[in-house]
Amino acid sequence: MNRTRAFTLIELLVVIAIIAVLAGLAFPVFQSIQNQAKKTQAKNDLTQIVTAVNAFYTEYGRYPLVTADTIYGPAGSNNPNKTLFDVLRGINILENSRQVVFISPPDAKDPTQPRSGIGTAAATAGEYFDPWGTAYNIAIDGNYDNQIANPYSTNAGSATLRLGVIAWSCGTDLGSEGAATNKNGGKNKDDVISWQ
């Protein structure tokens, strides 16, 4: 008599439990890798933003739109970053009369929840979003004294930065405050900034 050997119910449950434990251990690793890729993308975007504003300065001999130190984005008071990116993308021809395209980010893939690109839905049209879905913040030295208030000065570092343009993303916590502090009062470790 030939009997074929099969898994018992106990053996099957043990195998399923082992697979579940391994998947549970692997999930944080995959999440960490994905978050690091988003940070790298955000750092690249911030470098391109700062370069685009400086290229505008080189082309026109002034910074776009500003006559005083100004922040565009969620940390700015009623200054969406769309205003700045319309100029840098050559859409605002009053400010960018030569219609030079200084930056050309892609459109966000999902109009309802824009991430990594320019928003296309009516409520977010023209805003430039980071990989986590929050608009980038850009500060420009509009009074040309080569100093910008450091949005993180309450946490660490000097009160001013000796730069003409800075940009930052609030990272995974999606915070929109300028100083972006965590509940313990320190600088968020997930924030991505252009000046370091």
The pLDDT assigned to 40 comes to 94
Asked if the model's pLDDT at residue 84 lies above 90, the reply is yes
Copy the structure tokens of residue 31: 């999440």
As a whole number, mean pLDDT of residues 2-25 equals 86
What pLDDT band is residue 38 in, cutting at 50, 70 and 90?
very high
- Rounded Cα distance, 94 and 149, in Å: 28
The pLDDT assigned to 181 comes to 42
Per residue in 99-132, pLDDT (tens digit) is 999 999 999 999 889 999 999 998 889 999 999 9
- Rounded Cα distance, 97 and 165, in Å: 22
Nearest-CA neighbor of 161 among 182, 185, 145? 145
The rounded percent of the chain whose pLDDT value lies above 70 is: 88
Per residue in 49-80, pLDDT (tens digit) is 999 999 999 999 999 998 899 999 998 877 89
Helices (H) and strands (E) in the chain, counts: 2, 8
Whether the CB-CB separation of 69 and 143 falls below 8 Å is answered with yes
Copy the structure tokens of residue 67: 């006559």
pTM: 0.81
Per residue in 87-107, pLDDT (tens digit) is 999 999 899 999 999 999 999
Q: Which amino acid belongs to residue 20? A: A
The pLDDT assigned to 159 comes to 84
- Rounded Cα distance, 76 and 107, in Å: 23
What pLDDT band is residue 174 in, cutting at 50, 70 and 90?
low
Output the furthest CA–CA distance in the chain (Å, rounded).
94
- Rounded Cα distance, 26 and 30, in Å: 6
Copy the structure tokens of residue 161: 């930065």
- Rounded Cα distance, 45 and 69, in Å: 22
Helices (DSSP H) in the chain: which residue ranges? Answer: 9-60, 81-88
Whether the CB-CB separation of 83 and 136 falls below 8 Å is answered with no
Domain ranges for the chain: 45-193
Asked if the model's pLDDT at residue 136 lies above 80, the reply is yes
Residue 3, classed as helix, strand or coil, is coil
Lowest mean pLDDT among 5-14, 155-164, 172-181: 172-181
The pLDDT assigned to 175 comes to 59
Asked if the model's pLDDT at residue 6 lies above 70, the reply is yes
What pLDDT band is residue 178 in, cutting at 50, 70 and 90?
very low
